[in-house]
Structure 1
Amino acid sequence: MAAVKVYERILDLFEAEGINTLFGIPDPNFVHLFHLAQERGWNVVAPHHEESAGMMAEGVSRMTGKAAVCIGTLGPGIANLSGSIMCAKVENSPIIFLGGQRARITEQRVRRGRIQFVQQSGLVENAVKYSASIEYADQTDEIIREGLRKALSGTPGPVYIEYPSHVILEEIDVPPALPPESYRLVGQSAGPDRIAAAVEAIKAAKQPILLVGHGVHTARAGAAVKELADLVAAPVIQTSGGTSYIAGLEDRTFPYGFSKAAVEAVVQSDLCLAIGTELGEPVHFGRGRHWVAGEANRTWILVEQDPAAIGVNRSIDVPLVGDLRTIVPQLTEALRDTPRTPTPELTRWIEQDAAQLAELAETAPSGMSPVHPARMIVEATKAFPADGIMARDGGATTIFGWTYSQAKPHDVMWNQNFGHLGTGLPYAIGASVADGGQRPVMLITGDSSFQFQIAELETAVRLNLPLVCVVAVDYAWGLEVGVYKRTFGQGSLETGVHWGEGTRLDKVGEGFGCYGEYVERDEDIAPAIKRAYASGRPGVIHVAVDPKANSEEMPSYDEFRTWYAEGMQ
């Protein structure tokens, strides 16, 4: 047993989970915690807005496969965190949000006009999996552990833990912190009967596919899925959330709905092994649109951590409930002695997808000034470093990116489920912090989205991160301009979707200490990106894009509309 302060014990408990990064803006309520974390060698990052802090923590979680920690001061700090709390909830990210609060004696007094105070728990409890307060010092272990248990069990998600100011400095006698497996379920496996049923179904299939979602990336399970995919000898179909390419599977990984090869593979499949996906709207619940043709003859295997999710969006023939990091190796081991032979169709789909990508690069409109957004994506992604981390943000810019990207990054950050704009820059920073600033990072974003958290450029400069932001600038909410035109016709009023032309985002970046360049020709995009990386500073490349093309020529928009908004009601 050892006597420690509550804030020391909180750090001990997180360290036992392999957590060593903290985001937040220091406050008198918890400067002791920040100070000690820094002394212990933690990454302690103070951004310019608490919402950014939560999103940066999410970037760390996605890159490490672990829970991450963010902290907010009482009152306005928690208010600022609320957007990132909801993002983490919808994006299934296990973020531990810590909140300071006034001493309970102060909170419970009958008073008016209290400064920087609001009762916080009730405001966030519907957006988290668990909400609790450390009311007494000797509750510290059980509440922090319950928060981690809830955040990481079933469908991952955020939790909120509050500590009143009178508690955090108290002293308690405690033993060394326990490892995770001593207080929560770790590495839940599927039963041997279920594994055997899945293996028999895979062996019997003629045209199996793997449907790979966001969870494979956030669990850092790419290598395990690669081994399984090789044994199954199947194409990998990406969900719109699972757009990180697995190393070694790049050539036979096809984006669902946006690749002709993906559509053909889905239509012809007689078995779908779904891993790390909720089978939600972006894949038509696994039963609509492209899935309809083969529904009667298709077997479904779903690897899912939350047993309550089985059968919700569609019926599942073989549910494998547990941690995909454990179940995927179970399947691999059971199939190791009987690998499948690739079908002729797989070779054809690989060639078809490569040809489609090459055709898009060739046919993206060129020679325009301002630049066509499709050409901007082509040129920027050709310049994307092979070992880089990709972050995406924006409406129209992201839609162009889905279709025209020439890069196949192993780590992609974007807010797919919630669709929260402004996440791109904090995600990129958080991912780079988790990576130790070793790999190059590229953010491709629209101008309106970029400005949500633009102050965090200073954070990137302060941390000296290898980040280049490629910003498509049309001085408008491009996707919404397109909605006005389709709804009311050309020349109609476009209320609230344009902002003042003339802002130079490269110059804004320079003001924060970034490298900046202004580009308005296709051929200048890649060289500008390369110069930005070579500068040794974070970079902002302001790319002037054609506003008409950006709002009216979004590719595959009809496909997008089959699941977006009212498409799947």
Structure 2
Amino acid sequence: MSVKVYERILQLFEAEGINTLFGIPDPNFVHMFHLAEERGWTVVAPHHEESAGFMAEAVSRMTGKAAVCIGTLGPGVANLAGAMMCAKVENSPVIFLGGQRARITEQRVRRGRIQFVKQAELFEPSVKYCASIEYADQTDEVIRQGLRKALSGTPGPVYIEYPSHVIQEELEVAPALAPSAYRLVGQTAGADRIAEAVDYIRAASQPVLLVGHGVHTTRAGESVRALAEAMACPVIQTSGGTSFIPGLEDRTFPYGFSAAAIDAVVKSDLCLAIGTELGEPVHYGRGRHWVANEANRKWILVEQDPEAIGVNRSVDVPLVGDLRAIVPQLVEALRETPRTPTPELAGWIEQDAAQLAELAETAPSGMSPVHPARLIVEATQAFPADGIMVRDGGATTIFGWTYSQAKPHDVMWNQNFGHLGTGLPYAVGAGVADGGKRPMMLITGDSSFQFHIAELETAARLNLPLVCVVAVDYAWGLEVGVYKRTYGQGSLETGVHWSKNTRLDKVAEGFGCYGEYVERDEDIAPAIKRAYASGRPGVIHVAVDPKANSEEMPSYDEFRTWYAEGTQ
């Protein structure tokens, strides 16, 4: 069949199950945007290309597939840079398409050209693959190589340039190949390694399952649930893997922030780690809480990238391949001889539930402005059971780790890179991937929320069921705390405070959203309920106590151990 280059690119993405496109079109891309909508794609134009990248990343996390966003040549592509770096650190397979002027124009010896910079060489260090479609008949091989690189080994972003001289060229092509015809999919582990892992599992007296970010971004929850049940063990969440797998909510404990998790880790004699790099937030699997019983603990690691094996700690049984294929292998091997739960499991479940109940009871109440711990309790108790949780911010997220009462099955937040401002774009992207069916809640700090606040209009345009609960202390709360710890109380706090006249609920109303101002504990949950009932995206501006927000962050000493000075 005869197709234009831009149509062929869409066909190649469709073969991978991709049907969303984010970006702001320019002459390089208007043809692609127009045709994508005709073909039934969801096409979303946000207000900033960085938001487009974050939205695409959220779609990838929600679907387990690669996602696509585009940037206009020059400034538009420059705006993608932050999202590109974030996707690299977050291990997200996002395909960034960049427009560019025709190569003959680029190669001229000229000065003073408008909206032009040599782009590829700037982005190459931030992606797994950087290429350009120089000739029309390269289209298949370049796009496929980009997908191959994005989805193989440790997933990550790629950058593909799309110079204007190839846009309208015709191609004679066959139907697009299925992924399995040009890249490795569903890689299993060898039978000998599976048998060795199962022997360790059967011999263990106190195994734990360490579940990371990758379990949720690959949408592998159902098979991991079956494995946890066959192992009859607790599930320990990494800080990136904070989505709760349906059916495992009661036995899932956050590493470092749950007393049950710490006790289970300390007593474990086997750790089966899935979807995690064993990085700083879990002390590389060999520091802090892992030190006790280290000599008696065996390690099984499921990892797609063979070069990751043994880097942060030694591993007894590496299972190299796609966790979506390997976990079912383990489940099947354990089917006839599942383990029996140890008495400690019921105790840990009871201990964790009691800890959550105590936190809800003891979070300071009756304050105006609201104590941030109480905000988290009230907001998460009002969180819809089938909702999608999105997190953003510094101090607000730290309070959330300890005080959250919800156990959502889908959680979006930027854990590895710590990139603030991702919350609202992540929420939009998650809502697009979900088709706007499930309610969403963004819990964020005020400073983070304002990075991409214009995307409230995008959420309103798409009519997403989103409520943003914003903790407002009119400051960079985490940084205020740094000033206080560095220079003492009453010190000059430069560059961290902003106008107390700002009303984010009024800003929301200006974008066509629901807005409400709250400064008392008891008003938070009713305000959230009214926001959902409005049928529009909502913003609940919650005034929080700035002193508590900067000085009383819970488990802060634990958080500090994540950084290199605590994990070297």
TM range (shorter): over 0.9
Q: Cα RMSD between the aligned structures?
A: 0.5
The residue number in structure 2 matching 1:446 is: 445
Q: Distance in 2 between matches of 1:414 and 1:528?
A: 24
1:222-301 aligned at under 5 Å gives the runs 222-301=221-300
The residue number in structure 2 matching 1:140 is: 139
Q: In structure 2, what residue type is equivalent to 1:285?
A: Y
1:384-403 aligned at under 5 Å gives the runs 384-403=383-402
After TM superposition, which residue ranges in structure 1, 4 or more long, deviate above 3 angstroms? none
The SS at the match of 1:439 is coil
The residue number in structure 1 matching 2:469 is: 470
* 2:183 is the counterpart of 1:217: no
Q: In structure 2, what residue type is equivalent to 1:379?
A: E
List per-residue Cα deviations over 1:520-539 (Å, max 9, x = no partner).
00000000000000000000
The residue number in structure 2 matching 1:4 is: 3
The SS at the match of 1:228 is helix
The residue number in structure 2 matching 1:404 is: 403
Q: Distance in 2 between matches of 1:97 and 1:410?
A: 28
Q: Distance in 2 between matches of 1:319 and 1:168?
A: 45
1:423-438 aligned at under 5 Å gives the runs 423-438=422-437
* Aligned residue pair count: 568
Q: In structure 1, what residue type is equivalent to 2:227?
A: L
1:56-135 aligned at under 5 Å gives the runs 56-135=55-134
Q: Distance in 2 between matches of 1:566 and 1:456?
A: 37
The residue number in structure 1 matching 2:546 is: 547
Q: Distance in 2 between matches of 1:241 and 1:563?
A: 13
List per-residue Cα deviations over 1:354-386 (Å, max 9, x = no partner).
000000000000000000000000000000000
When normalised by structure 1's length, the TM-score is 1.00
Displacement, 1:502? Answer: 1.4
Unaligned ranges ≥5, structure 2? none
Displacement, 1:566? Answer: 3.0
* 2:76 is the counterpart of 1:44: no
Q: Distance in 2 between matches of 1:532 and 1:212?
A: 34
The residue number in structure 1 matching 2:555 is: 556
Q: In structure 1, what residue type is equivalent to 2:524?
A: I
The residue number in structure 2 matching 1:418 is: 417
Q: Distance in 1 between matches of 2:27 and 2:310?
A: 49
The residue number in structure 1 matching 2:537 is: 538
Unaligned ranges ≥5, structure 1? none
Q: Distance in 2 between matches of 1:345 and 1:390?
A: 30
Displacement, 1:163? Answer: 1.2
Displacement, 1:60? Answer: 0.2
Q: In structure 2, what residue type is equivalent to 1:376?
A: L
Displacement, 1:565? Answer: 5.2
Q: In structure 1, what residue type is equivalent to 2:512?
A: G
Q: Distance in 2 between matches of 1:56 and 1:559?
A: 31
Q: Give the fraction of aligned pairs with identical amino acids, expressed as a percent.
A: 86
The SS at the match of 1:453 is coil
Displacement, 1:567? Answer: 2.3
List per-residue Cα deviations over 1:402-449 (Å, max 9, x = no partner).
000000000000000000000000001100000000000000000000
The SS at the match of 2:541 is strand
The SS at the match of 2:256 is coil
Q: In structure 2, what residue type is equivalent to 1:434?
A: A
The SS at the match of 1:303 is strand
CA contact (8 A) 2:287 2:567 kept: no
List per-residue Cα deviations over 1:318-363 (Å, max 9, x = no partner).
0000000000000000000001111000000000000000000000
Q: Distance in 2 between matches of 1:88 and 1:154?
A: 15
When normalised by structure 2's length, the TM-score is 1.00
Q: Distance in 1 between matches of 2:440 and 2:14?
A: 27
1:371-390 aligned at under 5 Å gives the runs 371-390=370-389
* 2:317 is the counterpart of 1:348: no
Q: In structure 1, what residue type is equivalent to 2:414?
A: N
CA contact (8 A) 2:206 2:342 kept: yes
1:317-356 aligned at under 5 Å gives the runs 317-356=316-355
CA contact (8 A) 2:235 2:251 kept: yes
Q: In structure 1, what residue type is equivalent to 2:144?
A: R
Q: Distance in 2 between matches of 1:446 and 1:564?
A: 22
List per-residue Cα deviations over 1:184-206 (Å, max 9, x = no partner).
00000000000000000000000
Q: In structure 2, what residue type is equivalent to 1:290?
A: H
1:175-186 aligned at under 5 Å gives the runs 175-186=174-185
Q: In structure 2, what residue type is equivalent to 1:370?
A: P
The residue number in structure 2 matching 1:357 is: 356
The residue number in structure 2 matching 1:510 is: 509
Displacement, 1:506? Answer: 0.3
